Structure 1
């Protein structure tokens, strides 16, 4: 969860061949039989609660609970878009839940019904509250948290020193950007332009009713063709005329902020995860040289939009993400693999793994 401040972490440095171990006496095998995209895990006391996109929910979100990350109970739908303050009209994506002062707050993306210019993508971010992690969640206000003037998705929240920070992704929609990659694709006659999504951060009011100041650009795809080519594979494989930087997740180890993010088409095989580091929650962030840290391996594809939790015994840092296999087809399922930040500062994910 994003509240996690990592001061000391250990992890098995050998790549697992069949799933992974999670704490003493508890094991799991990938993929989990939970059809979530964008999975987020909240650890509340001795229980884990997993939220995500889809999973059978209709115009809202469901949750699964587990005492050990192995056995999961379907708790049903816990957020409904038609609640008394609901402002969305479909496309309910990427929920994240945080416990604050005895209440549970769900941040999520949805298509805003207020759409006077009839945009195809009119996504905004809202927040709903509940007394329990299993809901029911009710929107705090009948509108999104704020409107930056462009569609946004994938909320992630960080609390520190009495301040609250909101991270989000500006959508690719109507956001063409000039770069060596876009010029290359244009010359090949593939695409006239390449649209991009960028990750921003902004301070948020502590009551979540709005933001403070202007959003700060934190991450974007590379301008140069020979830099971080893995972030351009949706274009270079001629899959689509878009480059994504989305699904951010921030945590802190000692005095360094780590921001994990996903690139490429969430609906394709090249979806992958990288990270960047900073000394401040609002950057500047520098992308890591060892990116990507999670990508397809032949057996598992479309790996991305992760969150982080800790094992039941508190020893292992775990990367929770969605992926696909040949057996499961196009459906996204949840995977969990060990990860760590090494002594040299490098972040490593030991996955994707899959049970033989």
Structure 2
């Protein structure tokens, strides 16, 4: 009799625990974001700070600088206004303030960003460099840490991203397409078709930084570039801006690095940021500076109009974690048939599957 009661109690307990964990899992999946957010940002980046708040920055919203939105739940956002003013009489930068990222380190907040460098003796049309500003509070105001860019590689660079590991800091960036023509089978194909005489490319590099962000250690390493051969598995999706006749450039930009277990994942965007073919892929490595192997399930985020959706131009993403502390969130910009040419922010869940594949569950839009 006691054994029956014990068995019944165990069955009830098992049922309650199963119901509880099922409810927890269901709750984790309940983070429903009404995409797109009413925020006209390109290159969005969200920091979940130690105070539990989310701080979103991006390209646009103000001239000559950056603004911010804050949220406690990723759904309701407060406009925090301008947090950084560039193009001042004593600033190193003068225009084109792009791709900001925000980091919390040792009680301070650091704003990494791209802008046109004031120093331009040869009058280059693209003279972008990466700088850093600092503040005591996440909402700023931020002031330049140095009166110069972090470093000068001798060519224009954008889209800085940082990775902190132990006592080391790594910088990832994109060398601009500007004055970087590259011979490839895609370039040969474009010439044969009479489309373009040359194809310029942007490449992603990685380099170790000084811990105080004052400069680089050693020489930058080339990590990612567009494929040379047209039968490469990545060539079709990474070359759409060229093969569609849109522009004579192939991009590898907007890199974002994170680590899952023992594997480093670097996400990146390809194609023209102002067009419909902008899309996201990723590569993996067992070292923060590579070599990286591009994934066979690329692209993991792209336009959905061929599937009946309304989203195009998805790209330049960052990654954060949902309020449940576990669900990975992909933050990116895109365009819809309703929002027009302005880039707007999307937030969708992403995951690493049991076999190590990165999957973004998007783009999604709210049902009207």
Specify the TM-score bucket, using the shorter chain as the normaliser.
over 0.9
The aligned runs of 1:43-122 (5 Å cut-off) are: 43-44=48-49, 45-54=51-60, 56-82=61-87, 86-122=91-127
Task: Render the CA deviation track for 1:50-76: whole Å, top value 9, x for unaligned.
Answer: 00000x211000000000000000000
Q: For residue 146 of structure 2, what is the aligned residue in structure 1?
A: 141
Task: Render the CA deviation track for 1:251-289: whole Å, top value 9, x for unaligned.
Answer: 001110000000000000000000000000000000000
Tell me the number of residue pairs that the alignment of Structure 1 and Structure 2 aligns. Answer: 335
Given candidates 309, 312, 317, the residue that maps to 2:320 is 309
Checking the alignment, whether the CA contact within 8 Å between 1:169 and 1:246 is kept in structure 2 is: yes
Say yes or no: does 1:159 pair with 2:164: yes
Structural RMSD (CA): 1.3
Q: CA separation of 1:225/1:25 partners in 2, compared to 1, >3 Å: closer, same or farther?
A: closer
Checking the alignment, whether the CA contact within 8 Å between 1:185 and 1:192 is kept in structure 2 is: yes
Point out the structure with the larger helix share: 2
The structure with the largest alpha-carbon Rg is 2
**What TM-score does the superposition give when structure 2 sets the normalisation length?**
0.89
Task: Render the CA deviation track for 1:154-196: whole Å, top value 9, x for unaligned.
Answer: 0000010210000000000000000000000011111100000
Say yes or no: does 1:336 pair with 2:347: yes
After TM superposition, give the deviation of residue 86 of structure 1 in Å.
Answer: 1.9
Checking the alignment, whether the CA contact within 8 Å between 1:85 and 1:139 is kept in structure 2 is: no
Say yes or no: does 1:276 pair with 2:287: no
Q: Secondary structure at 2:95's aligned position in 1?
A: coil
Q: Return 5+ residue gaps in structure 2 as ranges.
A: 1-25
Please give the alpha-carbon distance, in whole angstroms, between the structure 2 residues aligned to 1:208 and 1:159. 12
After TM superposition, give the deviation of residue 28 of structure 1 in Å.
Answer: 2.0
Given candidates 207, 211, 222, the residue that maps to 2:212 is 207
**What TM-score does the superposition give when structure 1 sets the normalisation length?**
0.92
Given candidates 238, 242, 262, the residue that maps to 2:269 is 262
Checking the alignment, whether the CA contact within 8 Å between 2:254 and 2:268 is kept in structure 1 is: yes
Checking the alignment, whether the CA contact within 8 Å between 1:85 and 1:138 is kept in structure 2 is: no
Q: CA separation of 1:351/1:26 partners in 2, compared to 1, >3 Å: closer, same or farther?
A: closer
Say yes or no: does 1:172 pair with 2:183: no
Please give the alpha-carbon distance, in whole angstroms, between the structure 2 residues aligned to 1:177 and 1:97. 33
Q: CA separation of 1:22/1:180 partners in 2, compared to 1, >3 Å: closer, same or farther?
A: farther
After TM superposition, give the deviation of residue 230 of structure 1 in Å.
Answer: 0.1
Say yes or no: does 1:348 pair with 2:355: no
Please give the alpha-carbon distance, in whole angstroms, between the structure 2 residues aligned to 1:209 and 1:104. 16
Structure 1 stretches of at least 4 aligned residues deviating more than 6 Å after TM superposition: none
Q: Secondary structure at 1:185's aligned position in 2?
A: helix
Checking the alignment, whether the CA contact within 8 Å between 2:69 and 2:77 is kept in structure 1 is: yes
Say yes or no: does 1:41 pair with 2:46: yes
